Chains A and B, each alone.
Chain A
Amino acid sequence: MRSTSTLLLLLSLLGCKDKGADSAAPVSARGAAPAAQPPAPALRRLTRSQYDNAVSDLFGDGLVLPAKLEPDAEVEGLLSVGAATNAVSAYGVELYEDAAFLIAEQVFSDAERWGALVPCTPEADDDADCAAAFAESIGQAAWRRPLDADEVDTIAGVIASIGAAAGDFNTGAMYGLAAVLQSPSFLYRVEHGSTDGDLRPLTDWELASRLSFLLWNSVPDAELLDAAAAGELATAAGLEAQARRMLADPHASDGVRNLFDEIFHLYELDGISKDPAVFTHASPDLIDSAREETLRLMEWLVLEEDADFRDLMTSRDTFVDRRLAALYGVAAPVEGGFGLVTLSPEDGRRGLLGHASFLMLEAHAASSSATLRGIFIRDKLLCQTIPAPPADVDTSIPEADASSPTLRERLQTHLEDPTCASCHQLTDLVGLGLENFDGIGRWRDIENGATIDPSGTIDGTDFADAWSLGEAVSNHDAYGPCLTEHLYQYATGHPVAEGEEDLVDWLALGFSENSHSLQELMVDVIVSDGFRNTGAIQ
């Protein structure tokens, strides 16, 4: 079983990039990690959720967070890659200033929070020593590293001069805090390594940040910074020890939720339109609930159950609130809020492909879409590239009538016309398997008076309906390697570079060998050379 699946995995990894299937002989165990050459380093701007989490971890929960920041932008499928690619706009800089004062002022106004932050008692409005001590302590926490003397002088200078001008040291310190929060050392993660050369090991501080933003989607805690200071992160064993500690910490929920919010583009659910005249269950609240269902299931599968990741496609367990229970036709949780329910085979619904989040995201405002759903499965779950349609063709499909009542008949042109068929056969024949779910994920047996036929084939595996399509996807050769690729890109902030392909293939083998445990895959990624190094500065 293992050697067969290993071979298939190897082939499928290559197949994802379409390099053909005539590769080398299989290996029964994956052996030592291959060498990896990461690309040049890039600054990684904190994403919106990282900014919010950082503020909460630095200053405590309960602060009013900025209503708006420079938006995150997706590049190569991930906000994490966009954060390492795009520049901040002038308006974004203005919003960072607003946000810095919003936070600094709230912290300043709260005696308890403020007291915890200022490490000394000022003896004058422009007490230079106290200013420097404040700059050093808050700087190290917010910038995730010790400050050098110039940096301390700069912040301390702001504090002392404004403290003197305002006649109050703490007012100066409030402005100093605002400066710390507008500095590029807070807003960007610097990961440019310690020595010159093609393979530059990240510093202990940089590694601490990379680790905490991966696992917690936030800044390192004191224990992790202490480990960095003690040089413990320089060894694989030290890194692994911290990684396992952090995976067991409640903050890991934020990390897992954000990982899948990005990979599955669930954030795009914000602001989608659903016509309530067509979908009577639709509401903004339902859309929020749907996103939450998927994120809760991910948290539970990965952190509580440490489940085989293939279970995501076949899990009959899920989390519903009153709205989702009504949509799915299952009993609502007794306690109110979200509760764990087990779907039955008669429901026809299981796994991510039965989640309202995915089903409403990959649909139109007033109808379902076999094409969009098929693209999601190909692109997001199997990492297979589907090109965009040619720009200059009429892509319309006919309206429903007696001869073509269901979407399957209406898509016939796309499936037969040679211009369309090469791609649409890949997408639509898979997406049609989910036609029992309408544009918001409600079950239906019949469309326009005709019974829906959800059967089909995906890459040689037949499926009868959505129930078995999920299983077919979970057993697809590309499924595990695809998640590995997503995770690696998310962790490093760049698309897999040529010099990293062997490593990512090797990590995927380990994922398979470790019963598709995402926790084990995370640790494997973290201790790999690809995570611990960067390339030459260009």
Chain B
Amino acid sequence: MSRFRTSRRRFLRGMMQGSGLVCVGLPALELFSPRLAHAGEAFPRRFGMFFWGNGNRPDRWLPDGEGDGDAWALSEELAPLANVKEKLCVVSGMSVKVDNISPHWSGAAGLLTGRQVNGDDDSWTVHNETIDQRIAAEIGGHTLYRSLEIGIGSSSIFSYSGPNAPLSGESDPLTFYARLFGDTFREPGEEGVVDPALGFRRSVLDAVMGDIQRLQGELGQADRERLEQHLDGVRELELRLARLEEDPPDYESCARPGEPLAKYPDVEGRPQLSAKSRVMADMLAMALACDQTRVFHFHFTPPLYRGLFQNVSDDHHNLTHNEPGDQPEVHEITVQVMEEFAYLCEALDAVPEGDGTLLDHTLVMAASEVSEGRTHDLNDIPLVFAGGDTFKRDHHYRSYTQDNVSQAMLSVLRAMGVNATSYGEDEAMATDSLSAIEV
């Protein structure tokens, strides 16, 4: 893809030589005025999710002690997060309050949409968008990308913009790089010439939108809604092309990251999860620092992930069910996952922003669809927040009454400025947020 992007631009530039800037009847644009940061805030408020599949070993996950600072200590499985402990808020003991009818999927849907899966175990979708997309609808409109989805272990991720509207994650680092830091990218202050191709592409998109709307008129309800999603995508793309004709926002830490390798082939039959995750995390940190997006979903591995990790004898999902005893290999995998979550947090924390860091302006939520994978347990669901300024820091909160985890999700929505009175439906519905973790 990067080769294509390059060649397309080169081709168009070559073609345009001598013709100067052209206008094809598009609305006049304010060229070269910087895109503004979120009004009234020095730095934008951002949200991200770090998701992994198949849960943890609950007894080796639970931190010692509760409360602030020295009152609590990281557990074995959370130990990789030592460098950012001061910016963590660990929430334990909460439950996903949906019937566990569909192993893995009930948990994922219950946590991230607040509802049971929509359908039966054989074939299902979600009832509504996942929490990351709900937040993207609120705060994602100011940037080139409403949200960015990344899938390290698989491009198949648990993220939906609505029923039957799954999102996929980018799993190829070089494609991600070309998309965000390819030809159209400029660092703040970097000289640029408006590429006339941007205007041409927008007039093509205008024609496409006309086609979609014409077709919508002939269709039934479900198809009209599907095409409305398609149309939203075209609108977002057109808006992006328009914004690319402006100067990029002026954030001092914004810089073009290094280019990733062309390939990350499996080694010894095992995907290079760590190497891919880290190069993606570094690029994502810059995408946030450059304000290309304010919402991300970093899907390290999906629910029911069947891949092989390093130093273990079978695939993750099979180990959670068939490794006997205390499951040391499942524990080992959980530690490896947390090492990558820690890398992501540290990558954000390494970017200075004003008096703080990018992590201080980004709320990251790490979660999985179950706690103990062996029994698909929806109690004591693993949940860790890092960064931001809306939740307590260096804090461990534990519920002893298996309270509804939707309370914490409602806290997240409110922290991100979503004017929500509740989260979830039925038993999973929460109308009170988890004030115990809020600042």
Contact with B along A18-34 (1 / 0, CB 8 A): 00000000000000000
Contact of B307 among A86, A161, A192, A273 (CB under 8 A): A273
Contact with B along A90-102 (1 / 0, CB 8 A): 1111100110011
Q: Does the CB pair A366–B322 fall under 8 Å?
A: no
* A–B Cβ pairs within 8 angstroms, 27 of them: A41-B220, A43-B223, A68-B1, A71-B156, A76-B122, A85-B164, A86-B166, A89-B161, A90-B232, A94-B237, A97-B237, A101-B201, A150-B214, A154-B210, A165-B23, A273-B266, A275-B270, A275-B314, A364-B306, A366-B313, A367-B314, A391-B106, A394-B374, A395-B321, A396-B324, A397-B322, A537-B220
Contacts of A370 in B (CB 8 A): none
Contact with B along A141-161 (1 / 0, CB 8 A): 000000000110011011001
Known: A88-B229, A393-B375. A175 touches B166 (CB 8 A): no
C-alpha gap A43/B322 in the complex (Å): 43
Q: Does the CB pair B200–A192 fall under 8 Å?
A: no
Contact of A93 among B22, B162, B233 (CB under 8 A): B233
Contacts of B154 in A (CB 8 A): 271
C-alpha gap A38/B403 in the complex (Å): 47
Q: Does the CB pair A179–B223 fall under 8 Å?
A: no
Q: Which residues of chain A from 483 to 538 have a CB within 8 Å of any chain B CB?
A: 537-538
Contact with A along B293-334 (1 / 0, CB 8 A): 000000000000011100001110010011110000000000
Q: Does the CB pair A90–B219 fall under 8 Å?
A: no
Q: Which residues of chain B from 215 to 252 have a CB within 8 Å of any chain A CB?
A: 215, 218-223, 225-227, 229-230, 232-234, 236-237
Contacts of B340 in A (CB 8 A): none
Residue count of chain B within 8 Å CB distance of chain A: 87
- Beyond A158-B207, A393-B375: 15 further Cβ-contacts under 8 Å? A43-B227, A98-B5, A151-B211, A151-B214, A154-B210, A155-B207, A165-B24, A179-B207, A182-B208, A183-B211, A184-B227, A273-B270, A276-B269, A284-B266, A399-B324
Contact of A87 among B207, B229, B270 (CB under 8 A): B229
A378 within 8 A of B: no
Contacts of A105 in B (CB 8 A): 7-8, 11
C-alpha gap A93/B175 in the complex (Å): 16
Q: Does the CB pair A273–B22 fall under 8 Å?
A: no
C-alpha gap A253/B219 in the complex (Å): 33
B103 within 8 A of A: yes
Contacts of A151 in B (CB 8 A): 211, 214
Contacts of B230 in A (CB 8 A): 87-88, 93, 184
Question: Considering the complex of A and B, which 8 residue pairs feature the smallest CB-CB distances, nearest first?
Answer: A93-B233, A87-B229, A391-B100, A365-B315, A90-B233, A391-B376, A87-B165, A165-B24
B384 within 8 A of A: no
Using a CB–CB distance below 8 Å, which chain A residues touch chain B?
40-43, 64, 66-68, 70-71, 73, 75-77, 85-94, 97-98, 101-102, 105, 109, 150-151, 154-155, 157-158, 161-162, 164-168, 171, 175, 178-179, 182-185, 188, 190, 192, 271-277, 282, 284, 364-367, 385, 387-389, 391-399, 537-538
Instruction: Look across to chain B and name the residue whose beta carbon is closest to the beta carbon of A385.
Output: B122
Q: Does the CB pair A70–B232 fall under 8 Å?
A: no
Q: Does the CB pair A161–B165 fall under 8 Å?
A: no
Known: A184-B215, A192-B219. A71 touches B168 (CB 8 A): yes
Known: A179-B207, A393-B375. A272 touches B306 (CB 8 A): yes
Contacts of A88 in B (CB 8 A): 226, 229-230, 233
C-alpha gap A154/B122 in the complex (Å): 43
Q: Does the CB pair A275–B269 fall under 8 Å?
A: yes
Question: Chain B nearest CB: distance from A182 CB in Å?
Answer: 5
C-alpha gap A399/B156 in the complex (Å): 31
C-alpha gap A396/B330 in the complex (Å): 13
B360 within 8 A of A: no
C-alpha gap A68/B168 in the complex (Å): 11
Q: Does the CB pair A73–B375 fall under 8 Å?
A: no
Q: Does the CB pair A90–B146 fall under 8 Å?
A: yes
Count CB-based A-B contacts (< 8 Å): 225
B19 within 8 A of A: yes
Contacts of B208 in A (CB 8 A): 179, 182-184
Contact of B223 among A42, A158, A162 (CB under 8 A): A42
Q: Does the CB pair B24–A273 fall under 8 Å?
A: no
C-alpha gap A151/B233 in the complex (Å): 21
Contacts of A274 in B (CB 8 A): 269
Contacts of B214 in A (CB 8 A): 150-151
Contact of A73 among B8, B162, B166 (CB under 8 A): B166
B77 within 8 A of A: no
C-alpha gap A107/B286 in the complex (Å): 36
Most buried by A among B19, B223, B234, B318: B223
Contacts of A387 in B (CB 8 A): 121
Contacts of A273 in B (CB 8 A): 266, 269-271, 306-308, 315
Known: A89-B165, A93-B236. A364 touches B102 (CB 8 A): no
Question: Chain A nearest CB: distance from B167 CB in Å?
Answer: 5
Contacts of A179 in B (CB 8 A): 204, 207-208
C-alpha gap A90/B165 in the complex (Å): 10
C-alpha gap A112/B51 in the complex (Å): 50
Known: A89-B168, A396-B321. A158 touches B203 (CB 8 A): yes
Contacts of B221 in A (CB 8 A): 538
C-alpha gap A509/B23 in the complex (Å): 65
Contacts of A389 in B (CB 8 A): 103
Q: Does the CB pair A166–B201 fall under 8 Å?
A: no
C-alpha gap A70/B7 in the complex (Å): 22
Contacts of A284 in B (CB 8 A): 266
Contacts of B4 in A (CB 8 A): 64, 67, 98, 101-102
Question: Chain B nearest CB: distance from A168 CB in Å?
Answer: 7
C-alpha gap A538/B166 in the complex (Å): 23
Known: A190-B215, A277-B268. A157 touches B207 (CB 8 A): yes
Question: Chain B nearest CB: distance from A288 CB in Å?
Answer: 13
Contacts of B170 in A (CB 8 A): 91
Contacts of A175 in B (CB 8 A): 200-201, 203-204
C-alpha gap A531/B167 in the complex (Å): 31
Most buried by B among A155, A161, A385, A388: A388
C-alpha gap A477/B121 in the complex (Å): 26
B350 within 8 A of A: no
Question: Chain A nearest CB: distance from B141 CB in Å?
Answer: 12
B172 within 8 A of A: yes
B149 within 8 A of A: yes
Known: A87-B230, A158-B204. A192 touches B222 (CB 8 A): no
Contacts of A398 in B (CB 8 A): 324
C-alpha gap A447/B229 in the complex (Å): 53
Contact of A75 among B106, B123, B215, B315 (CB under 8 A): B123
B101 within 8 A of A: yes
Contacts of B377 in A (CB 8 A): 392
Contacts of B16 in A (CB 8 A): 166
Contacts of B357 in A (CB 8 A): none
C-alpha gap A162/B204 in the complex (Å): 9
Q: Which residues of chain B from 21 to 36 have a CB within 8 Å of any chain A CB?
A: 22-25
Q: Which residues of chain B from 165 to 219 have a CB within 8 Å of any chain A CB?
A: 165-168, 170, 172, 175, 179, 196, 199-201, 203-205, 207-208, 210-212, 214-215, 218-219
Most buried by B among A42, A179, A365: A365
Instruction: Look across to chain B and name the residue whose beta carbon is closest to the beta carbon of A158.
Output: B207
B15 within 8 A of A: yes
